[in-house]
Amino acid sequence: MLRVDINGWGISPRGAGYLFGADITKVFAHRNGIDLIARAHQLAMEGYKLMFDKAIVTVWSAPNYCYRCGNVASILELDEHLAQEYKVFSHAPSDVRSIPAKRPPADYFL
């Protein structure tokens, strides 16, 4: 987990993992020759969120999460030169979404 308002690092109050700030991120990226750390599993209302002088990006690819958050989603596309392009998209309106056909469970679930 990362935090904008923390210097150094600390234990997450959620009990899983650590919190770290821009200073730790910059040192880690420099020592490891990394230009960008891409992460997910944290809602970004605009589809993606760049932090710490663009050293970290959170990419969120579930539009209108849980059918109630009203967020857009994105996909990060890298070309052969690692140039970044964020493709942002909205949810499909309910009148064009289809309900998947029900199929029997696969044998390996039985």
Is residue 102 domain-resident? no
- Give the domain extent around 58: 9-94
In-domain check, residue 104: no
CB half-sphere exposure, 34, CA atoms < 13 A:
14
Retrieve residue 73's tokens. 């989603």
Q: Is residue 2 part of a domain?
A: no
Could you read off the pLDDT of 27-69 as tens digits, one per residue?
A: 999 999 999 999 998 999 999 999 999 999 999 999 999 989 9
Question: For residue 101, is it within any domain?
Answer: no
Identity of the highest mean pLDDT range in 4-8, 18-22, 72-76: 72-76
Cα 72 to chain centroid distance, Å, stands at: 12
Sheet with 37-39: list strands edge to edge.
37-39, 56-59, 48-51
Report yes or no on 3 lying in a domain.
no
The answer to whether residue 83 sits within a structural domain is yes
Residue with token string 């935090």: 3
Between 83 and 93, the higher pLDDT residue:
83
| Total count of domains within the chain | 1
- Domain contains 53: yes
